[in-house]
Structure 1
Amino acid sequence: MKIFLIFTAILFILGCSTLAFNKAADVQKIENVVYKKIDGQSLGGDMYIPNLAGNKPAVVVVHGGGWTNRSGKMEGLSTKLARAGFVVYNITYRLAPESRHPAQMNDVSDALAWLYQHADKYEIDSSNISGWGYSAGAHLILMAGLDRQDAPQLRSIVAGGTPADLTRWPNSPLVLKLIGEPMAKAKTEWQDASPVNHVTKNSPPVFLYHGQWDTLVEPEQMALMADALKQKDIPVETYTVNFLGHILTYAMAGSAERRGIEFVRAHKASK
């Protein structure tokens, strides 16, 4: 009985904190908003728009799935972000092995450019657009957002379970599908497809989170990415999700997501 009461109290506290965190206006969802057509495909995503007056900050959300599928649809996170006051564009991209790197990165970059171009239509503050991805999506938003050169700069990036240095997995079948050639024959391409090699002095601030027990994308990948950012003096925060692996961190990382949302808020452009 005592254990039951403790468990009930925990559920009540979690429920109250969730209600407090999500207290916001209703969210309108517009499905399948296309940002480009290529290779016979219409690439787009779902737009989540909070019912708030005036221009709002936005986040482009990028799903995972080992670059080969959409196993992580990011719908729950997109809803959380919208309830927190962000316009969210939860996008799709071309998949490997039918499409090889840099196709996926180019798609994400084109989605970002499209959102900047259509900011007024969706009441978005174009000076406050950020990116968020998990797993393969974290890899892609970092690849597209760390070094945008002449493109509009992201305000911040949140990346979870990030494959940061692909050369650490020379025998990975997933990376092989993405690149199309084994590392022994295409080391330069594997290096070029690694976010750790694309940090510049102009890269946006980054929040990294990772499962402590992640055996698919080892936690050292977060350390490698953080070190690459620190070497260029880019603001970076890291967050370890204790006792969870790769999949469960995607599904249950509420604390990391809350910290990520706070990070994006903290790096908004001031008006």
Structure 2
Amino acid sequence: MKVLLVITALLFLVACSTVAFNRSAGFQKTENVVYKKIDGESLAGDLYVPKTGGLKPAVVVVHGGGWTNRSGTMDGISTKLAKAGFVVFNITYRLAPQSRYPAPVNDVSDAITWLYDHADEYQVDTSNINGWGYSAGAHLILMAGLDKPQSPHLRGIVAGGTPADLTQWPNSPMVRKLIGEPMVNAAEEWKEASPVNHVAKNSPAVFLYHGQWDKLVEPEQMALMKKALDKQDVKVETYTVTALGHLLTYAMAGGAERRGIGFLREQRLAE
């Protein structure tokens, strides 16, 4: 837990250092757009809408933080996506342990639905809505998007530092907070909450990236996710960020982010 607290503090400092990049003239940013009200709580996100005309691709962006807090605002990648021509919905969701699985997955799914429902208002191409998440956010966007073939659905997903198989950490206090029970008492729940078990034949294409020296979410998790996607013949691409751990991959994975943006563009061109 001490490691998680240090990571959270460092991510907050990194997030603060990126605030200046939000003032781009190429898009309009609207903060705290509510997409859902539940149990007296308003869940919201920041909308980034490029100032170009016509229908635009979109991305729902989901933050990390061990499912218990918001580690990093995801404003950096949201800004890059907006500059690349994507409408971006950078959302919040209910946090553990107060809100346990599947509550945060349901929130992400509802945010995707909200963007579909408001597509006309923001000039969103409903055939080209995608997902992007890092760490716990990668887990949640995969859970919300992998086995949802009916509309609304995602065209592509970019997932960084992904916790793909939660059963690999049977003693994890973070996963226990998400599920609400230790794995010894809830093995099926831990399995059901793992993205590797939600890949379908018609799942969206997935781009995975991971830090080579990640000690919090080991790189083997990316290999497990790729294996599950390959087994169902789902398009998947992987990218290893050399010599970086979990925190620095979030903060400094410029090459991975550029490739991820290119990957999402390619899914549209491949139609």
TM-score by length of 1: 0.90
1:269 Cα shift?
5.9
CA deviations on 1:117-167 (whole Å, 9 max, x unpaired) are 110000111111000000000000000000114332211000000000000
Q: Which residue of 2 aligns with 1:200?
A: 200
Q: Which residue of 2 aligns with 1:125?
A: 125
Contact kept, 8 Å, 1:34 with 1:45, in 2: the verdict is: yes
Q: Which residue of 1 aligns with 2:15?
A: none
Structure 2 residue 27 is matched with structure 1 residue 43: no
SS at match of 1:147: coil
Unaligned 5+ residue runs, structure 1?
A: 1-23
SS at match of 1:268: helix
- Distance, in Å, in 1 between the alignment partners of 2:234 and 2:59 is 20
- Distance, in Å, in 1 between the alignment partners of 2:190 and 2:151 is 24
- Distance, in Å, in 2 between the alignment partners of 1:101 and 1:195 is 13
SS at match of 2:121: coil
Q: Which residue of 2 aligns with 1:145?
A: 145
1:25 Cα shift?
6.3
SS at match of 1:171: coil
- Distance, in Å, in 2 between the alignment partners of 1:138 and 1:253 is 15
CA RMSD of aligned residues (A): 1.2
Q: Which residue of 1 aligns with 2:257?
A: 257
Contact kept, 8 Å, 1:128 with 1:269, in 2: the verdict is: no
- Distance, in Å, in 2 between the alignment partners of 1:259 and 1:119 is 26
Q: Which amino acid aligns with 2:74?
A: M
1:232 Cα shift?
0.1
Contact kept, 8 Å, 1:127 with 1:269, in 2: the verdict is: no
- Distance, in Å, in 2 between the alignment partners of 1:145 and 1:174 is 22
Q: Which residue of 1 aligns with 2:61?
A: 61
Q: How does 1:174-213 map to 2 (within 5 A)?
A: 174-213=174-213
- Distance, in Å, in 2 between the alignment partners of 1:269 and 1:37 is 36
- Distance, in Å, in 1 between the alignment partners of 2:62 and 2:78 is 10
SS at match of 1:240: strand
Contact kept, 8 Å, 1:61 with 1:91, in 2: the verdict is: yes
Runs of 4+ in 1 over 6 A off after TM superposition: none
- Distance, in Å, in 2 between the alignment partners of 1:136 and 1:73 is 13
User: Percent identity at matched positions?
Assistant: 73
SS at match of 1:163: coil
Contact kept, 8 Å, 2:64 with 2:133, in 1: the verdict is: yes
1:73 Cα shift?
1.1
Q: Which amino acid aligns with 1:142?
A: L
- Distance, in Å, in 2 between the alignment partners of 1:89 and 1:201 is 27
80-89 vs 148-157, which moves further: 148-157
- Distance, in Å, in 2 between the alignment partners of 1:152 and 1:201 is 17
SS at match of 1:29: strand
- Distance, in Å, in 1 between the alignment partners of 2:218 and 2:156 is 23
1:270 Cα shift?
6.7
Q: Which residue of 1 aligns with 2:26?
A: 26
43-52 vs 150-159, which moves further: 150-159
CA deviations on 1:9-46 (whole Å, 9 max, x unpaired) are xxxxxxxxxxxxxxx96111000111110011100100
- Distance, in Å, in 1 between the alignment partners of 2:270 and 2:220 is 34
Q: Which residue of 1 aligns with 2:114?
A: 114
TM-score by length of 2: 0.90
Q: Which amino acid aligns with 1:157?
A: I
Q: Which residue of 2 aligns with 1:221?
A: 221
CA deviations on 1:172-213 (whole Å, 9 max, x unpaired) are 000000000000000000000000000000100000000000
